[in-house]
Amino acid sequence: MVASKPESGILLIGLDIGGTQIKAACVNESGSVVDTRRLNTPASLIAFRQAVCGLLEELIASHANIRAVGIGCKGLINPHTSQVESLPGTLHYLEEQVLAQMLAPVLPTGTMIVADNDARVALAGEMFWGAACQCRNALMLTLGTGVGGAILSDGRILRGTTGAAGHMGHLTVDPEGTLCICGNRGCLETVFSARTIESQAFGAIHRGVDSRLLAHGSKVPTCAEVFDLARQGDAVASDIVRKATRVLGAAIAGLAFVLDPEKIILGGQISEAGDVLLEPLRAEITWRTRAFLRREIAVVRSQLIDPSGVIGAAALALEARSRTATA
């Protein structure tokens, strides 16, 4: 289904769980933020439960007609149960926790609670209020420290048997390539990700190449700085960006043959690089797909504005209500 028109007058809570901050907002059916709360991410499970439940209670006390809560979180989240399967880093204490079960006691009876990973949350936001609102088939890629992904197919977000559908960062693009944190070799995010691009730039500095990257000295350049130098015509930075973007384009083209999307939507920090990323990426995808698909696939940036995490989480709740209504 293309995102259906939401019910009039309802409010949704979007909860964005991050490694440094947790944000929550009441969002109306048009995707407008009505009220927000935020807090620093607690250091323990007990503190997390107390803080987040308190935050939700504040919003519920201030607003009537809240019908659903959507939760977005990095890591591997089972969308069917809302259990956190894997979440390394500062939020590791949430592993094996069922988020809906944890938060239900402070919510009004009958309030729907859903949770999913940040990429599918982003796609839900685009589906209702952004670049995918008129699409039945689209791919969402979140380009940052790693590569996240989500799939809209025939109007529905695909989740798969265990909720792992869309983890595009772990597509194998080089069977003999670099070892990935997942244990596989040659995953897409070992070639295209902020950490990989930064590592390659630092390696170039270490080799003493003729580049403005050398101005960073012993400091690792940020991914944004590498793309900025590529935009300015620095040969070494341009080569790093070109090679990484070519592999990303080839991977997306392969997905396009399988899924035949109307649009490719890019989110995450790297998407902010703009045309220095988008132009070669579009060219690579078009070159690899046009002869067979006989059309150009639109490649666009996310249209969600900040706070996009809570807006997407609210859209996730709306998507779940729509899915339930049409089941």
Q: Is residue 6 part of a domain?
A: no
Q: Given its phi and psi angles, is residue 82 left (phi above 0), alpha (psi -120 to 50 degrees) or beta?
A: left
Report d(CA 72, CA 10) in Å as an integer. Answer: 20
61 to 48, 108, 285: CA distances (angstroms): 20, 11, 49
pLDDT at 5 over 80: no
The answer to whether the predicted template modeling score (pTM) of the entire model surpasses 0.85 is: yes
Instruction: Please tell me the chain's helix, strand, coil percentages from 3-state DSSP, rounded to the nearest 5.
Output: 45, 20, 35
At residue 326, the 3 state secondary structure works out as helix
Q: Do residues 185 and 64 share a domain? A: no
pLDDT, one tens digit per residue, over 52-73 is: 999 999 999 999 889 999 999 9
Q: Do residues 208 and 148 share a domain? A: yes
Q: Do residues 244 and 311 share a domain? A: no
Q: Do residues 156 and 176 share a domain? A: yes
Q: Is residue 276 part of a domain?
A: yes
pLDDT, one tens digit per residue, over 7-39 is: 457 899 999 999 899 999 999 999 999 999 999
Amino acid at 228: D
Q: Do residues 222 and 193 share a domain? A: yes
Q: Is residue 226 part of a domain?
A: yes
Tokens representing 294? 């006989």
Q: Give the total number of structural domains in the chain.
A: 2
Which residue range(s) make up the domain with 68? 11-128+305-326
Q: Do residues 254 and 169 share a domain? A: yes
Q: Do residues 121 and 148 share a domain? A: no
Q: Do residues 105 and 179 share a domain? A: no
Query: Which CATH number belongs to the domain containing residue 55 in this structure?
Result: 3.30.420.40
Q: Is residue 4 part of a domain?
A: no
Q: How many CB atoms lie within 10 A of CB 123?
A: 34
Q: Do residues 252 and 317 share a domain? A: no
155 to 118, 134, 158: CA distances (angstroms): 19, 9, 9
